[in-house]
Structure 1
């Protein structure tokens, strides 16, 4: 932090005799440069500039763009586009293609944060358009990933896979191994959701040894969960799946069961007719104070139904079945409730 304060002091001292516009431009450029290596420091610097005091429309637009970019890099999710609008309005007419590309990208991220996915897709496509032929650009990988997310949310899996693969290839070419592994995870999840079990196994076989080499325990646990669900729906013996899961926990989670695996284990033990283990994991799920989505709630209701059937409690089963029908009605319009609740 001391080095950062010294840097800002030197910048201010160097431009003390310059015009207000030149001093402001230097500070905005410094914040932009810092954003990639020290986004928290960059945020402090950009917030020290009052945009209302900036003397030109271009500086106000650049401040708006850099401020929006830094907030995104600090994982501060804007849902209102009032901050970035000066950049949108100015760069649409006067900006370079790169300025337009960046503006549309961060404008799209704001719509995405607000769950306005149709709008975010349109803006990501505009960002991709202004990126042009500069394919070995980190923004190209980010845009492809975001478009894959948008298609996946619409359950349009073929273009989602296409964009995720493009993002994977770009992150690999850029040498960003962490992001490359994440794209493998997105691809594996998408293949699971679309029921392409062979496609999933192909991705799993490719990424598992890389995650082991990188010692990414979180990724290995996620892949293990996805593999368990994939094998379960292929009809593989649940006992073998459960044994493999516990072997993974021993290696990568100190032997304890991750919370994300509770639903699957309840399902697998229920399939085996093991009422005690099924009941145990259902109680563990119920104890988690987590805002489950509608499809996850539907999946959990299914698990509770299976538990009541194992216990032969027909009175409670009838009441639960009535509620399950009511809550699962939205799933009839295309939501893949059958698998979302289990991984």
Structure 2
């Protein structure tokens, strides 16, 4: 199914929480798409988009003949069911991460997708579209600093005053704790930069919060050619932190901070430097490094645009594919299984 440039795509959003409202804002700013409907189990969510067709049952959206594209921004539990239903009703689908609560969810989605090659499916791993990440990927792929040796990622938040009561801390609704909720972003970036991992070791713990899910996950991942990535995903990082360090044969590429909607992870920067074994002071090392600062988050706009371009032109989905989703979910599952 392809669309002509003068025919706006007709989009609907299922799930009008924080992320759904962000996607709605992105769609509203585009001229090649018309947001025609929304759905949420909470009737009061209709107030976010006054005048728009609103349903409390997503099935009335996916079964609608006047909808071409469905954006799924729900909690984790119903996401896979909604994606499958939308694909089965001939809709292109964009679904936020995680792609489900289990590998089985992703495999079920992928099986339906395989029978509908005319439809586009993308999952929302928007961190790939952050300015620092895109520039880091260009640097690494250019070979300027050689081959990746190892990577170390820290993604932490404080949980929040109501952390023990929100849906993200409910096993039935979420399916997993901080690893599935936030750590999956870092796992996706590890795969983005380093490819597949064959070996997994982990500690997955509930250290502080009174919840039946993990609030900290520590993992060591190794590729077949023996490169290593280290992850700490935490809901007890009292000062929010995003950090991805990449060491290569001839230098390093470090990302610090990320421009999240909450703006609590600090300034988004990318620092890179060629190795110099003669440098022995911090000041000298800093003088040799190059730092880029990113002050605008365009990840939501760029990611949404890439998906809509694939829908409009019939071209391939290049990032956030079902294969990417399955790879990330497989790592999540293996980290849970390898816990000691």
Q: Output the TM-score relative to the length of structure 1.
A: 0.28
> Which one has a bigger Cα radius of gyration?
1
Q: Output the TM-score relative to the length of structure 2.
A: 0.29
Q: Kindly indicate whether structure 1 or structure 2 has the higher relative contact order, using CA contacts under 8 Å at least 6 residues apart.
A: 2
Structure with a larger share of its residues in helix? 1
